[in-house]
C-alpha cells in the first residue's frame, strides 16, 4: 500500500499545473461553466491544444498516437487538476471516441484521428441517446443502411451535448434491425458538416446548451465504421466504463471557495466558519470529497494493473456525483438567502456560481448513467446478484 504519488507523477503533474496556472484566463473559466464543462469552445481549444501539443491530453496513449505512454494514473491526475483549475474536463474525443478508435478502429482511422484527438485539434460529440433510448441504450433506432460503399443514415439523436462545438459525431447506429437489440448496433465516426445533419439547440435549466440532432439521408463512408459491424454495443459498454471515471475536481475547487467564504463572512456578528453547524457540514463535505478522491485514484490503480474497471467505475461515478450534489447543497445552505442570487446580480456570493451550480446539480445523478443504473451494475457485476426473471 502506498497512498502517495511517485516523484515522477508529481513532477509531471506539477509542470502541467504550473502551465494551467499561467495560461488560464477569466474568459476560459467563464466559457467552461457556460458550456457545462464540455470541450470544444474557442477558449478551451486555445489552452488545450497547447496542452495536447505536449501530450498532456491523452498522456496514457502511446507516443505514436500523440500520447506520452504514461500510466492511467497520470491521466487521471491531470484530468482532475484540469477540472480543479477551471478548464473543460468533458472530452468526447479524448475520453470516449479516442479510446474506442484506439482499441477497435482500423489503422486508417487511427492514423486519421488519434493524433488530432490527442492534440485537441478535433473534438467528438457522443451520439448515443435517442428520445426512446436513454438508460435502455440498446433500444436505439437511428438506422444505418448498407449501400455498398457507404452507409445511409436516418433518424434522430437526443441530448447530444457537444454537437454544437464538436467536429465529429461518435455515433451509435442500428445496422441490423432484425438481430436482437444489442446485437444489431455499430459505431461510426461522422463528420458533423455532412449534408443532411440538422442540429437543433435545447436549453437546459442550467442555461447551457444541449442538442437534438436529425439525420436525413446522411451518407457515411464505410471506412468510418469503428471496429466490427454489429458489435458496437459491446464497445459502448466499455466506453461507458471510461466515461464514468468522473473527476470531482470542479467541486473540490468550489468547496475550497466555500471554506474561504466561511472564514471571511460574518453573519450576526460571528464568522460563518465559527458556527458549529457550518463546521460540521463543511467537515462532512471535506471527508466525502476525500473518499471520492480515493475511489477515483483506485481506478488508476485498477487500470494500470490491466484489470477492467467495470463496477469500480460505476461505484466511483455514483459516489462522486452524489457528493457533488451535496457540496452544492451545503454551499446553498451555508449562504442562505444569498444562494438564490444569480451571476449578474448585486450581492451575489461567489459570483453567483452557487445558484448556477444548483440548477446544474440535478443532472449529475442522471447523465452518464443514472445512479439507479450504477447501483444495478454494482449489484449485478460487483456483488454477483441475480437478474430478475419475469
Partner 1 sequence: MNFGLSEGQRMLKQTARDFLTAECPSSLVKEMATDDKGYSPELWRKMAELGWMGLAFPQEYGGTGGSFLDLAVLLEEMGHACLPGPFFSTVVLGGMTILELGDEKQKRELLPLIAKGELIITLALTEPGSSYSASEMMAEAIADGDNYIISGTKLFVPDAHIADYIICVAKTAQGAILFMVDGRNPGISCSLLKTIASDKQCEVVFDKVKVPEESVLGDLDQGWIQLQSILRRAAIAKCAEMVGGAQQVLEMTVDYVKQRVQFGQPIGAFQAVQHHCANMATDVETSKFITYQAAWRLSEGLPCNQEVAMAKAWVSDAYKRVTLLGHQCIGGVGFMEDHDLPLYSKQAMGAETAFGDADFHREVVAQELGL
Tell which positions 35-94 bind partner 1, by CB under 8 A: 73
Measured between alpha carbons, how far is 243 from 332 in angstroms, rounded to an integer? 28
Closer to partner 1 by Cβ: residue 3 or 347: 3
Measured between alpha carbons, how far is 24 from 16 in angstroms, rounded to an integer? 12
- The residue from 14, 222, 223, 274 that contacts partner 1 (CB under 8 A) is 274
The burial of 355, by beta-carbon neighbours within 10 Å (0-12 exposed, 13-18 middle, 19 or more buried), is given as: buried
For 162-177, b/e burial (b = at least 16 CB within 10 A) is bbbbbbbbbbbbbbee
Please count the CA atoms within 13 angstroms of the CA of 183 that sit on its side-chain side.
3
- The window from 87-95, 136-144, 199-207, 370-378 that contacts partner 1 (CB under 8 A) reads 370-378
Contact flags string 311-330 toward partner 1, x per CB under 8 A: ----x--xx-----------
**Residues 226 and 190: beta-carbon distance below 8 Å:** no
For 33-53, b/e burial (b = at least 16 CB within 10 A) is bebbbbbbbebbbebbeebbe
Cα–Cα distances in Å, from 136 out to 34, 182, 256?
29, 10, 38
In the complex, what is the shortest distance from the CB of residue 334 to partner 1, in angstroms, rounded to a whole number? 11
The position carrying cell 454494482 is 378
The reply on whether position 301 binds partner 1 by CB under 8 A is: yes
**Residues 144 and 188: beta-carbon distance below 8 Å:** yes
Closer to partner 1 by Cβ: residue 26 or 276: 276
- The window from 122-130, 168-176, 272-280, 352-360 that contacts partner 1 (CB under 8 A) reads 272-280
In the complex, what is the shortest distance from the CB of residue 9 to partner 1, in angstroms, rounded to a whole number? 9
The reply on whether position 374 binds partner 1 by CB under 8 A is: yes
Closer to partner 1 by Cβ: residue 229 or 259: 259
In the complex, what is the shortest distance from the CB of residue 21 to partner 1, in angstroms, rounded to a whole number? 22
In the complex, what is the shortest distance from the CB of residue 172 to partner 1, in angstroms, rounded to a whole number? 25
Enumerate residues 6+ apart whose C-beta is below 8 A from 211.
159, 160, 161, 163, 164, 199, 200, 201, 202
The reply on whether position 308 binds partner 1 by CB under 8 A is: no
The reply on whether position 383 binds partner 1 by CB under 8 A is: yes
Q: How many CB atoms lie within 10 A of CB 151?
A: 23
The reply on whether position 306 binds partner 1 by CB under 8 A is: no
In the complex, what is the shortest distance from the CB of residue 348 to partner 1, in angstroms, rounded to a whole number? 23
The reply on whether position 376 binds partner 1 by CB under 8 A is: yes
In the complex, what is the shortest distance from the CB of residue 299 to partner 1, in angstroms, rounded to a whole number? 10
Closer to partner 1 by Cβ: residue 24 or 375: 375
The reply on whether position 273 binds partner 1 by CB under 8 A is: yes
Pairing verdict, β 124-127 and 168-174: parallel
Q: How many residues does the chain have?
A: 390
Q: Residue 8's closest CA among 86, 94, 70?
A: 70
The reply on whether position 295 binds partner 1 by CB under 8 A is: yes
The reply on whether position 262 binds partner 1 by CB under 8 A is: yes
In the complex, what is the shortest distance from the CB of residue 318 to partner 1, in angstroms, rounded to a whole number? 7
Closer to partner 1 by Cβ: residue 286 or 332: 286
Q: Which of 130, 212, 243, 353 is catalytic?
A: 243
Active-site residue 27, yes or no? no
- The window from 19-27, 215-223, 229-237, 380-388 that contacts partner 1 (CB under 8 A) reads 380-388
- The residue from 26, 148, 269, 384 that contacts partner 1 (CB under 8 A) is 384
Q: DSSP assignment, residue 306?
A: T
- Tell me how many residues contact partner 1 (CB under 8 A): 47
For 215-238, b/e burial (b = at least 16 CB within 10 A) is beebebeeebbbbebbbbbbbbeb
Residues that bind partner 1 (CB under 8 A): 1-5, 73, 259, 262-263, 273-274, 276, 278-280, 282-284, 286-288, 290-291, 294-295, 297-298, 300-301, 315, 318-319, 372, 374-376, 378-380, 382-389
**Catalytic (active-site) positions:** 243
Amino acid at each position: 500500500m502506498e497512498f502517495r504519488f511517485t516523484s515522477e507523477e508529481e513532477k509531471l503533474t506539477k509542470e502541467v499545473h504550473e502551465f494551467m496556472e499561467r495560461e488560464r484566463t477569466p474568459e476560459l473559466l467563464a466559457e467552461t461553466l457556460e458550456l457545462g464543462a464540455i470541450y470544444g469552445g474557442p477558449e478551451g481549444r486555445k489552452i488545450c491544444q497547447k496542452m495536447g501539443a505536449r501530450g498532456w491530453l491523452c498522456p496514457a496513449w502511446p507516443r505514436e498516437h500523440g500520447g506520452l505512454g504514461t500510466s492511467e494514473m497520470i491521466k487521471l491526475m491531470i484530468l482532475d487538476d484540469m477540472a480543479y483549475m477551471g478548464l473543460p474536463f468533458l472530452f468526447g474525443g479524448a475520453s470516449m471516441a479516442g479510446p474506442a478508435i484506439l482499441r477497435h478502429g482500423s489503422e486508417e482511422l487511427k492514423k486519421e484521428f488519434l493524433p488530432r484527438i490527442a492534440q485537441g485539434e478535433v473534438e467528438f460529440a457522443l451520439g448515443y441517446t435517442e428520445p426512446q433510448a436513454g438508460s435502455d441504450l440498446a433500444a436505439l433506432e437511428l438506422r444505418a443502411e448498407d449501400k455498398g460503399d457507404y452507409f445511409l443514415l436516418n433518424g434522430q439523436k437526443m441530448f447530444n451535448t457537444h454537437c454544437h462545438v464538436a467536429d465529429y459525431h461518435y455515433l451509435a447506429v442500428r445496422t441490423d434491425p432484425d438481430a436482437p437489440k444489442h446485437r444489431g448496433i455499430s459505431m461510426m465516426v461522422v463528420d458533423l458538416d455532412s449534408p443532411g445533419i440538422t442540429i437543433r439547440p435545447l436549453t437546459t435549466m442550467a442555461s447551457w446548451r444541449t442538442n437534438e440532432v436529425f439525420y436525413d439521408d446522411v451518407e457515411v463512408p464505410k471506412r468510418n465504421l469503428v471496429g466490427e459491424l454489429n458489435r458496437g454495443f459491446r464497445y459502448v459498454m466499455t466506453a461507458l466504463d471510461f466515461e464514468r471515471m468522473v473527476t470531482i475536481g470542479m467541486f473540490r475547487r468550489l468547496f475550497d471557495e466555500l471554506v474561504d467564504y466561511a472564514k471571511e463572512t460574518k453573519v450576526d456578528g460571528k464568522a460563518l466558519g465559527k458556527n458549529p453547524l457550518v463546521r460540521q457540514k463543511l467537515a462532512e463535505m471535506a471527508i466525502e470529497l476525500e473518499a471520492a478522491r480515493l475511489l477515483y485514484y483506485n481506478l488508476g490503480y485498477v487500470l494500470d494493473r490491466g484489470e477492467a474497471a467495470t463496477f469500480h467505475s460505476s461505484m466511483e461515478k455514483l459516489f462522486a456525483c452524489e457528493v457533488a450534489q451535496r457540496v452544492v447543497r451545503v454551499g446553498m445552505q451555508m449562504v442562505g438567502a444569498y444562494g438564490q442570487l444569480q451571476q449578474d446580480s448585486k450581492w451575489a456570493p461567489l459570483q453567483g456560481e452557487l445558484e448556477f451550480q444548483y440548477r446544474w446539480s440535478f443532472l449529475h445523478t442522471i447523465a452518464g448513467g443514472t445512479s439507479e443504473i450504477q447501483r444495478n451494475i454494482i449489484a449485478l457485476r460487483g456483488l454477483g446478484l441475480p437478474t430478475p426473471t419475469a
